[in-house]
Each structure stands twice: as C-alpha cells, then as structure tokens.
Amino acid sequence: MRIAMLLGSRLGVELMLSLGKSALRALAAAAGLFAYAHAHADWATNLPRGVTEISSRIYDLHMLVLGIVTVIGVLVFAVLTYALIAFRKKPGVASATWDHSNLAEFIWTVIPFFVMVGLAIPAAQALILIEDTSGSELTVKITGYQWKWQYEYVGKNYSFYSTLGRESNVARQKNSGRDPYAVDNYLLEVDRPLVLPAGVKIRYLITSNDVNHAWWVPDFGVKRDAIPGYMNEGWFQVDRPGTYRGQCAELCGKDHGFMPIVVEVIPESEFDAWLRQQVTG
C-alpha cells in the first residue's frame, strides 16, 4: 500500500513534471510561433504614437475621436438593433401612427452640434501647434522628383538624392523571382537616408521639381505635399535617435510606390561631426 502510494506520488510528480515541461515547451513554441508571426507580419490595426510632439498629439486626438465615435456608434447601433428586434411585425400589433416629434428632433440636432464644437476645440489647438514653425535650429529643404527625394541642408552647402534601396529595387520588378520577405525593409529602404540631429527643432521646406508628391513619415506625424512652384513648410523635433521610415503619399506616376523615405536620427554631437565630414569630404 505504502509502496503503491509512494509509487503513485512519484508517478504523479513525474507526470506533473513532464506535463509541466511539455506545457512549457508548448508555451515556448506558441510564443515562438507568435514571435515568428509577429516578425513576418503584425496585423497592425492602429496609428503609431510616433516619436514627435506632433505625432503624439495627433495620436491622442485620434484615440479621443475614435473613442467618441465608437461610443456614439455603439449607442446608435444598439438602439437600431433593439428596434429591429423589438418592433418586428407581430400579429395583432399595429404600427404607431405618429410621424414626428419636434422636441426629439430638436434634441438630436443640437447634441451632434455640440459634440462637433467640443471636438473642434482640441483639434484647433493641435493644429496651431503643428503650424508653428518658429524657433527652428536647422532647415532642411526637401524636393520631390520622379521618383526620388532630394535633401538639402539649407545654409550648410550640402545636398544629396535618396532613392529606393538596390535590393528592394531588384525584388520589386515584375516576376523578379525574389522573395520580398527575404529583403530587409522591403520597399522601405533607401540608398542614402536623411540624417538629422536628435533634440533639435527642424524646419522643413518642401517643393517638387516635376509632379506633386507628398513627404510622409507616420512616426513624425508629418505629411505635406511637394508641389512644383510652391514652397510648403512645417516642422518636427525627434528626441529619440533611431531610424524612421515613410513613403511618398501623393500619386506621382508609375513608381509612386517606390520612393520611400528613411530618416536616420542621431545624437546632435555626432550629427555635427557627420555633416562636417560630408561637406569637406
């Protein structure tokens, strides 16, 4: 009996251990699979918060407005769904005969109006921030071409072109036989990224040399059209060094999808050295 119990508990422990191990293995495998799926494609569903004051203001406003329309949507759809269920045709129940109510109509004209006014206020505040280009320390001129970008450090006597990375360019050809997944940052890589200093308010001027383009970096919350004959401006300040990617956002011809934007943000001290080296070297 004792032996049996001992055996039993040993077996139990072993069983638990092995179960635990395989559970852990399964968990690890699942995590691995998840990580794999995540690395390959992340089913992303929302705006990034981004890395600039502008982008996080936009993100907060986006979440606020999304929240408000979701609440309104849920309420309206709930009422609608209730009506669909509750007022199905039933024998012996006749439809109501009323066909208007001034009070109700007044209320649901006025409420949306005030919701709109309520939304317009934070929107206007964010907009005023976005359009305030004063106090910038560095000006970069961006010029759109079919199908590349030119970046000029205004007053620093330095400019260059930035085009789609070579590997992406090979893989994107029709029936190239290359697996886009095998290319790092497929379609989001360039030969020469725009290099900018961290923690500095950067003013950009933007124009085009041929057709309309638009310079868009989601993480910066910046999208501005490049239009021939126009010099648009805006600003952003990135505090966290890193590599940020974007794309042309205005249809500009056959290779519209193939003129990405890559911005390399580096510490200010490194930037000064980098720029000096580019200008002299």
Among 150, 152, 167, 178, which residue sits at the site for other proteins (rule: CB under 8 A)? 178
Residue with Cβ nearer other proteins (2 or 90):
90
Q: Is 43 left (phi over 0), alpha (psi -120 to 50) or beta?
A: left
Among 20, 73, 242, 267, which residue sits at the site for other proteins (rule: CB under 8 A)? 73
Q: Is 243 in the site for other proteins (CB under 8 A)?
A: no
Residue with Cβ nearer other proteins (8 or 228):
228
Q: Is 241 in the site for other proteins (CB under 8 A)?
A: no
Q: Distance between CA 157 and CA 221 in Å, rounded? A: 28
What is the C-alpha end-to-end distance of the chain, expressed in Å?
88
Among 51, 52, 53, 57, which residue sits at the site for other proteins (rule: CB under 8 A)? 57
Which residues are within 8 A (CB) of 263 and not within 5 positions of it... i.e. 6 or more apart? Answer: 193, 194, 195, 196, 217, 220, 238, 243, 244, 245, 246
Residue with Cβ nearer other proteins (191 or 255):
255
Q: Is 61 in the site for other proteins (CB under 8 A)?
A: yes
Among 3, 97, 103, 277, which residue sits at the site for other proteins (rule: CB under 8 A)? 97
Cβ at position 28, least distance to other proteins in Å: 24
Q: Is 48 in the site for other proteins (CB under 8 A)?
A: yes
Compute how many residues bind other proteins; rule: CB under 8 A. 98
Among 156, 192, 201, 223, which residue sits at the site for other proteins (rule: CB under 8 A)? 223
Which residues are within 8 A (CB) of 53 and not within 5 positions of it... i.e. 6 or more apart? Answer: 129, 237
The residue among 149, 188, 191 whose CA lies nearest residue 172 is 188
The residue among 161, 153, 154 whose CA lies nearest residue 259 is 161
Residue appearing with tokens 């993480």: 219
CB atoms within 10 A of CB 106: 10
Q: Is 44 in the site for other proteins (CB under 8 A)?
A: yes
